């Protein structure tokens, strides 16, 4: 993929010894990159360094390259959190008490009936002149400072490391400011298209030529995940006007595998649609082991439409909880279209839900046979035409299998809602 | 935290535009860091850059800092895979045909009945003098080159980007060579400690001083997650002999919040222990919405001990599936210790499981009251002393709440198994 011009270079520095020791996976790059992409901006470079003094030279190095720096981590109360003092050194500004932050910290501790220690209050000492972004989910606030570096204005954003603290500050404070800092960037229009069931080379063969005929400079990115492909389509300048045409063309060419144009997950679409319809949903899971239920109940408001579900791992539980006839289990095996449909019917009868899905399959690593190898999966679901069942051959790797089976189950539930 | 001396500096460069657009999460740092940590080595810095020419200056920059470089990605057949030609430029060595790689590529395509294209065969042209590591799971081999840089020998390892291709080459070829390249490194002993229920500033106040008295050079890292803290404790040189004393001291000081000394997750400990005991486990979830079941069933072998579970989001389902007495729901509310215990008892009676856990709580964002605010959670579980119930005040943020409630539920299940 060619690199587009970057009048507004953005660099990300993630600090944390735990990242370099492999204890924690670094999700900040993805979170921040996805958010910036919505604004038509991208990160040019990302660096991970340990907690400690090394941040100072790394900051100086990055300032020589980039106009906007985003730095994560090191703002907390413990001895390895050194970002605030180093920033004070970089800016040649003292750390001074920020009264609203101190009050916020004390309030959080009062709410939890925990005594505040001087260690914790340290987080309220911030470099003089820094703009402070309150942290609704933690004690360490985000910070924004500007610094002249060899005659250029540089913009530095500091965010706490825990994702649930970082994300609100990113969305509420950092993104609007970066947006305003980059006023003259070329206009662009982004279309995210989520597909399920076809590989990226198939999709490329079908869509690439027709889309290039619409806009020769169109940027088409393929992100193949486990069993699905997300398309990232970007139009630039005047060609942004062709976005609707691109959308229609895609639906014409690959509409059968597109489940969404946008960034949402299937569970959000399902809960939104079911809430709109004031209907009810239930789940019966064998091979997906509760992941379908978990995905649905992650969404706020799920309790209004999701009645509940069962995770029936053993045959005995399939019989007890869902009245699956024993002869079906004996004659066809637990992993069969007959049992998937019986699970669905038992679930519908017991819960009286209007929409439902049932999964059964072989997640592995053991349990496969020549006829039904690891990766075999049956999903039964309600549909506008009555109960349906889908047979799939999915990944032979357990985690990937459960994810893929869950995606297909949620997609059938989405289609059931119409 | 102070940075310890690193006679063998190792740096990781991950290439890939998709990483900087947030389409793919970068797992290479964790994979490679965990493997190196087992050898007592660590990565000092990690950089992500887009596909393209930028790799050459970034390599030169890294060579000026570090002795060993590991570079991932860019070895494939498409136009954005530029690592081989850039490496040829860096080394001033031509790309020449590597016959075994060509034969390997042709064989792979023959096995799949796909015609080999010149694009694919390009991957067999490798920098003269490079050591070639065969790729059992793909077409692009790994590469190892050495280069003198300002009088110092530098070691560069190149790995293909897809994890299933990278991991075997890392384990079979790269790690043994790095191990041999760093013969005189100081010995170290690593202790990972996982805790639940206390914050990092509390833990630091309790453990830091006593541990420093045992070993003044001890390295103590705190990794705070949602509602829990992982401790990373490293002893160096002769002080590695004090590891047992450190372990005992920690158990004495914070034993009540330590749930594991090691790197495993709770679900792995539970499945391993339950398998050993040949016992059975079941779950009843309201507020955790299937996440407890999902975590357990992620583990291979779960089907032998996990009977199944229910996700009972509505009161009607709590009554129907678990025989929770209606008067308990009316008098105490669904979120109460009485209902948690009734859920547990109903579950045990119906499934005949020997160990079980039940969750009920208010995940939010709505549903809270002054008496029971969002974040209130009751968890009932079996225990060696009979049924127990735990009341918790957890995060008011939905995802964090579900994760925290699940951790506490799994921990009670672990304790139940003894």
DSSP 8-state class, residue B170: I
Q: Do A221 and B18 touch (CB under 8 A)?
A: yes
Which has the closest alpha carbon to A233: A179, A269, A183, A188?
A188
On the question of pLDDT at B4 being above 50, the answer is no
Do the Cβ atoms of B22 and A30 come within 8 Å? yes
User: B38 pLDDT band (50/70/90 cuts)?
Assistant: confident
3-state secondary structure of B85: helix
Q: What is the three-class DSSP state of A126?
A: strand
Instruction: Tell me which of B9, B17, B19, B22 to substitute to probe the interface with A (most A C-beta atoms closer than 10 Å).
Output: B22
The whole-angstrom separation of Cα B161 and Cα A312 is 38
B399 and A291 within 8 Å at the Cβ level: the answer is no
Q: Which residues contact A229 (CB under 8 A, 6 or more apart)?
A: A195, A198, A199, A200, A203, A222, A223
pLDDT at B49: 97
- Classify B3 as helix, strand or coil: coil
Choice between A227 and B228, residue whose per-residue pLDDT is larger: B228
* Closest alpha carbon within chain B to A50: B44
The alpha carbon of residue A364 is apart from the nearest alpha carbon of chain B, in Å, by 7
pLDDT of residue A7: 55
- Which residues on neighbouring strands pair with residue B317, listed in sequence order? none
Residue A407: predicted pLDDT: 96
Residue of B nearest to A62 (CA): B47
Indicate if the pLDDT at residue B78 is higher than 80. Answer: no
Say what the pLDDT of residue A40 is: 87
- Asked if A51 and B1 come within 8 Å (Cβ–Cβ), the reply is yes
Residues of A numbered 235-294 whose beta carbons fall under 8 angstroms of chain B's beta carbons: which are they?
283, 285, 288-294
For residue A373, give both structure tokens: 């190898």
- Of B374, B351, B227, B379, nearest in space to B292 by CA: B379
End-to-end CA distance of chain B: 37
A19 contacts in B (CB within 8 Å)?
Answer: 29-30, 33, 46
Q: Which of residues 96-155 of A touch B (CB under 8 A)?
A: 112, 114, 117, 119-120, 137
8-state DSSP, B138: S
Give the model confidence (pLDDT) of B124-166 as tens digits. Answer: 999 999 999 999 888 899 999 999 998 899 999 999 998 888 9
Is A227 in CB contact (< 8 Å) with chain B? no
**Structure confidence at residue B360 (pLDDT):** 98
A292 → chain B, closest CA residue: B290
The shortest CB-CB distance from B3 to any of A54, A162, A164 is to: A54
pLDDT band at B305 (very low <50, low <70, confident <90, very high): very high
List all residues 6 or more positions away from B70 whose beta carbon is below 8 Å from its beta carbon: B10, B11, B12, B13, B32, B43, B157, B159, B174
- Rounded to the nearest angstrom, the minimum Cα separation between B369 and chain A is 15
Residues in chain B: 418
Nearest to B309 by CA among B408, B415, B411, B406: B406
Hey, what are A212's tokens? 């290039």
| Pairwise CB contact (< 8 Å): A293 & B312 | no
Predicted pLDDT at B6: 52
Q: Do residue B26 and residue A24 have CB atoms under 8 angstroms apart?
A: no
CA distance A290 to B296: 9
Name all domains of chain A by residue range, CATH numbers in brackets.
10-181 (3.40.980.10), 188-261 (3.30.70.600), 266-417 (3.90.950.20)
Q: What is the pLDDT of residue A364?
A: 86
Residue listed under structure tokens 């947030």: B22
Name the pairing type of β-strands B228-236 and B188-196: antiparallel
A47:B46 CB<8 A:
yes
Tokens matching residue B14: 């991950």
pLDDT at B115: 79
Nearest to B333 by CA among B321, B345, B318, B322: B318
**pTM of the shown model:** 0.82
Q: Tell me the backbone φ, ψ of residue A360, rounded to 5 degrees.
A: -150, 135
* Minimum distance, in Å, between the CA of residue A329 and any CA atom of chain B: 16
Residues near B385 by beta carbon (within 8 Å), at least 6 away in sequence: none
Say if the Cβ atoms of B3 and A43 lie within 8 Å. Answer: no
Structure tokens at B295: 């975590």
Does the pLDDT of residue B344 top 90, yes or no? yes
More confident residue, A220 or B329: B329
Strands B355-361 and B258-261: unpaired
Q: Which residues of A touch B302 (CB under 8 A)?
A: 289, 313
3-state secondary structure at position B414: helix
pLDDT-derived band at B5 (thresholds 50, 70, 90) equals very low
The residue of chain B with its CA nearest to that of A401 is B298
In whole angstroms, give the CA distance from residue A75 to residue A127: 12
Residue B3 has pLDDT above 50, yes or no: no
Chain A positions in Cβ-Cβ contact with residue B42 (cut-off 8 Å) = 20-21
pLDDT score recorded for residue B76: 81
| Nearest-neighbour CA in chain B from A390: distance (Å) | 22
The pLDDT, as a whole number, for residue B241 is 95
418 residues of chain A, pLDDT tens digit each: 333 435 579 999 999 988 998 888 899 999 999 999 888 899 999 999 999 999 999 999 999 999 999 999 999 887 778 999 999 999 999 999 999 999 999 999 888 788 888 888 999 999 999 999 999 989 999 999 999 998 899 999 999 998 889 999 999 999 999 999 998 887 888 899 999 988 777 888 899 999 999 999 998 888 777 778 889 899 988 999 999 999 999 999 999 999 999 888 999 999 999 999 999 999 999 999 999 999 999 999 999 999 999 999 999 999 999 999 999 999 999 999 999 999 999 999 999 999 999 999 999 888 899 999 999 999 999 999 999 999 999 988 888 899 999 999 999 999 999 9
CB A392, CB A181: distance < 8 Å: no
pLDDT above 90 as % of chain B: 76
pLDDT, mean of residues B68-85: 87
Q: Is B306 helix (H, G, I), strand (E, B) or coil?
A: strand
CB contact under 8 A, B30 and A33: no
- Residue B2 confidence (pLDDT): 37
């Amino acid at each position: 993929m060619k690199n587009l011009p970057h009048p507004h270079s953005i660099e990300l520095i993630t600090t944390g010894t735990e990242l370099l020791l492999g204890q924690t996976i670094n999700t900040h790059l993805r979170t921040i990159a996805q958010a910036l992409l919505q604004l038509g901006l991208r990160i040019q470079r990302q660096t991970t360094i340990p907690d400690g003094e090394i941040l100072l030279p790394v900051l100086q190095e990055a300032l020589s390259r980039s106009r906007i720096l985003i730095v994560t981590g090191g703002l907390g109360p413990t001895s390895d959190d050194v970002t605030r003092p180093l920033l004070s050194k970089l800016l040649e500004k003292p750390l001074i008490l920020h009264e609203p932050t101190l009050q916020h910290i004390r309030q959080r501790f009062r709410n939890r009936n925990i005594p505040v220690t001087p260690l914790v209050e340290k987080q309220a000492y911030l470099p003089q002149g820094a703009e402070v972004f309150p942290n609704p989910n933690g004690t360490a606030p985000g910070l924004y400072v500007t610094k002249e570096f060899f005659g250029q204005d540089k913009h530095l954003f500091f965010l706490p490391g825990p994702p649930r603290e970082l994300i609100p500050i990113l969305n509420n404070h950092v993104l609007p400011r970066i947006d305003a800092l980059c006023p003259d960037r070329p206009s662009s229009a982004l279309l995210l298209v989520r597909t399920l069931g076809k590989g990226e080379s198939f999709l490329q063969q079908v869509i690439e030529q027709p889309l290039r005929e619409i806009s020769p400079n169109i940027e088409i990115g393929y992100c193949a995940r486990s069993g699905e492909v997300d398309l990232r389509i970007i139009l630039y300048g005047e060609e942004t006007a062709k976005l609707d045409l691109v959308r229609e063309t895609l639906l014409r060419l690959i509409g059968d595998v597109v489940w969404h144009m946008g960034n949402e997950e299937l569970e959000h679409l399902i809960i939104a649609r079911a809430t709109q319809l004031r209907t009810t949903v239930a789940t019966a899971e064998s091979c997906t082991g509760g992941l379908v239920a978990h995905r649905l109940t992650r969404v706020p408001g799920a309790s209004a439409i999701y009645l509940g579900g069962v995770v029936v791992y053993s045959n005995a539980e399939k019989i007890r909880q869902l009245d699956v006839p024993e002869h079906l289990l004996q004659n066809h095996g637990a992993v069969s279209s007959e049992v998937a449909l019986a699970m669905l019917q038992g679930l519908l009868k017991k819960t009286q839900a209007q929409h439902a899905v049932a999964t059964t399959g072989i997640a592995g690593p053991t349990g496969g046979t020549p006829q039904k190898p690891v990766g075999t999966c049956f999903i039964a679901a309600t549909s506008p035409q009555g109960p349906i069942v889908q047979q799939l051959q999915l990944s032979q790797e357990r985690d990937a299998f459960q994810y893929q089976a869950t995606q297909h189950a949620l997609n059938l539930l989405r289609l059931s809602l119409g």
